[in-house]
Amino acid sequence: MRLVLVGPPGAGKGTQAQFIAEHVGVPKISTGDIFRANVSEGTELGTLAKQYMDRGALVPDDVTIEMVKARLAEPDVEPGFLLDGFPRTVPQAEVLEDHLRELGTKLDVVLELVVDDDEVIRRLSGRRTCRTCNRIWHVDFDPPAVEGVCDLDGGELYQRDDDKAETVAERLRVYAAETAPLVAHYAGRGVLVGIDAMGPVDDVTQRAVDALRPFQDR
């Protein structure tokens, strides 16, 4: 199976990507993992990407695309793959489609994790990070025994700028402007399946597995 996972920040893509990939028996491929692997291995693409990452800039599309193509050429991807974090835009999706066509294959399904904006803001703005060990807690879902204090080492818990409600709202605005059109693109291709990503992690995973079953049976 060859699938792409899409959804807004805070939808739980990272968690679900791992579970779903294990269920369908394909490697999980995320842009974050690809970047880290190329940088740690000192590849030409990794060295180039690091120059942008070190100054806090976005890695250009052409560099990201070449990294993804290289990863898709590795032997473990032959049975299929789950892409998490790529493509993010319609142009990237078109490049991916062209590349898969050259390889004589195509995407089987694009799975969209659907979650309300209010829930995304609640999930992300409730996170608190330990200044000492970087362990992440949540004021609602995983609170420490003492408010503002890490259970593990007594470190101070703080809210990262990325997790502040106004920042999360801006990230959702950017998602709607840049990545949401991807959903319409794949819906037009007839490969989009949306699932409710609200509720416990296990419940969401089961919905994803159920949604993918018809594609596994093809």
- Catalytic site positions: 13, 88, 127, 160, 171
Exposed, middle or buried by CB within 10 Å (0-12, 13-18, 19+), for 62?
Answer: exposed
Q: Which residues face 20 on adjacent strands?
A: none
∠ CA 100-106-111 to the nearest 5 degrees? Answer: 120
Quick one: tokens of 37? 């692997």
Find all residues with CB under 8 Å of 63, minimum gap 6, and list them: 45, 48, 49, 52
Find all residues with CB under 8 Å of 135, minimum gap 6, and list them: 129, 150, 152
